[in-house]
Amino acid sequence: MAKTILHTEQLVAGALLQFDDISSLDIFLLTQDFLKRNPNYQLNSLKLDYLKNYIKITDGKISLKDGITVESYISENKSTLEKRLEQIAGTCVNKYFQYFDIEEFMLRKIEYYGSIKEESIDNIFSKTQQKELKKLAKKGYITTTLQDEVIYNEIRLTDLGKLKFDKLCTDHNNEITIDYTSLTNFTRLESDKKTILTEDGKKLMQDMLSVWDNHCIHICHPNHLFAGTKLITTDAKKMININWDDIDIQRMLRIKDYKTFITSDCTQAFKYIHKRLGNQIMREIKKGNKEGAISYLAVVERYTFDFEDNYLVRGIIRGDAEGYSIAFNPEYQKIIPQSVWEKSLRMGDNELPQAYLMKRKK
């Protein structure tokens, strides 16, 4: 599936709300991290078309023009520069920075350099980043040492700092969160006065529910599928974090509150979803709780490999007072057939994607 293209300028706009100035290395590190966390996106080359009226470039660093702050009034949107930068950044980038971990960013930046001369700190780190350096020093993550032979001080990660950095890298590599997909990959399915879903909405729902192989799908509540503590509770009705691979299929089978579908015609599967989510949503609306009228269903595909049942989560369907939204598991989204020819090859397991040729945690 083609990736969604964003402008690197959008990432820069978001970064200017975090730092007083940003360097080319900052942009490089942010780009790396953003794409790891948002694998369905692609960033194009940097062109400062929308930011040029508000920024200056000095010694390779991008910062706001003299006399301009994020509180400055901007006539283009009749609001502050902060609001204008948020507009340029867009929903996906704003969501990324909403959960931005500056401590992790700083550790990655220091690790990139290995060691940094104390006299170079002003050139390498912005004022905001220098404040974070002091916090890292208090935690024991960095240290300043004297290099006697050349008589200068340098900072580097301590063993504790490296252990923090290695742990963050491990956690990051294992992390897949619906927090990012809730606004970036959760796609609102449009409707009109005549139909529940427009043609584009139907296409996405078919991608989620149609079975092209000799497999089947189960539809159930996410709490019944995913391992660990409940994702959705009375106090937390919005999904925060999820690991697509961390499922407990035995929990779903034990609770027995799921429905199974096996055909490429997803009409019955959608009717089931529409009835189940619709009833839950209407109950909340009748209570006067329109904002809290949110409900979810998970779709998991069962396939056979090495004579055993294995399971791949396709994604999450969310219903609310405005209609439906869908979040695809990126691993599943990559293998959705895009043409009649691809679908025909998949019928009868004539051609299986690599995703179905491996064992998965049950």
Give the whole-angstrom CA distance, residue 26 versus residue 60.
11
pLDDT at 176: 35
Confidence class for position 184, pLDDT limits 50, 70, 90: very low
Query: How do strand 116-117 and strand 142-147 relate by DSSP bridges?
Result: unpaired
Lowest mean pLDDT among 42-46, 178-182, 199-203, 354-358: 178-182
Task: Kindly state the helix (H) or strand (E) to which residue 354 belongs, with its residue range.
Answer: none
| pLDDT tens digits, 269-319 | 999 999 999 888 888 888 887 777 888 999 999 998 878 899 999 999 998
Q: Which of 166-170, 187-191, 218-222 has the highest mean pLDDT?
A: 218-222
**How much is the pTM?**
0.51
Contacts (Cβ under 8 Å, ≥6 apart) of 204: 187, 189, 326
Query: For residue 70, is pLDDT > 80?
Result: yes
Give the whole-angstrom CA distance, residue 89 versus residue 139.
32
pLDDT at 152: 44
Distance, first Cα to last Cα, the chain: 27
DSSP annotation of 251: H
Give the whole-angstrom CA distance, residue 248 versus residue 227.
5
| pLDDT tens digits, 170-182 | 555 544 333 333 3
Q: What value does the mean pLDDT take over residues 108-136? A: 82
Q: What value does the mean pLDDT take over residues 106-122? A: 79
Q: Is 346 buried (19+), middle (13-18) or exposed (0-12) by CB count in 10 A?
A: buried
Q: Taking a C-beta distance cutoff of 8 angstroms, is the pair 255, 224 a contact? A: yes
pLDDT at 269: 94
Q: Taking a C-beta distance cutoff of 8 angstroms, is the pair 103, 132 a contact? A: yes
Nearest to 125 by CA among 333, 112, 278: 112
190: three-class secondary structure by DSSP? coil
pLDDT at 362: 62
Q: Taking a C-beta distance cutoff of 8 angstroms, is the pair 345, 320 a contact? A: no
pLDDT at 240: 56
β-sheet bridge partners, residue 196: none
Q: Taking a C-beta distance cutoff of 8 angstroms, is the pair 40, 185 a contact? A: yes
Query: For residue 165, is pLDDT > 60?
Result: no
Confidence class for position 162, pLDDT limits 50, 70, 90: low
Tell me what percent of the residues of the chain surpass a pLDDT of 90.
Answer: 20
Q: What value does the mean pLDDT take over residues 318-330? A: 86
Query: For residue 2, is pLDDT > 60?
Result: no
| pLDDT tens digits, 341-354 | 888 878 766 677 87
Q: What value does the mean pLDDT take over residues 5-21? A: 89
Lowest mean pLDDT among 125-129, 212-216, 232-236, 290-294: 232-236
Q: How far is CA 167 from CA 104, 133, 222, in A?
A: 10, 19, 28
Backbone phi, then psi, for 328, in 5-degree steps? -90, 140
pLDDT at 205: 93
Question: Between 9 and 168, whose confidence is greater?
Answer: 9
pLDDT at 299: 96
pLDDT at 166: 66
Give the whole-angstrom CA distance, residue 195 versus residue 178.
28
CA dihedral 6, 10, 15, 16 (to 10 degrees): 170
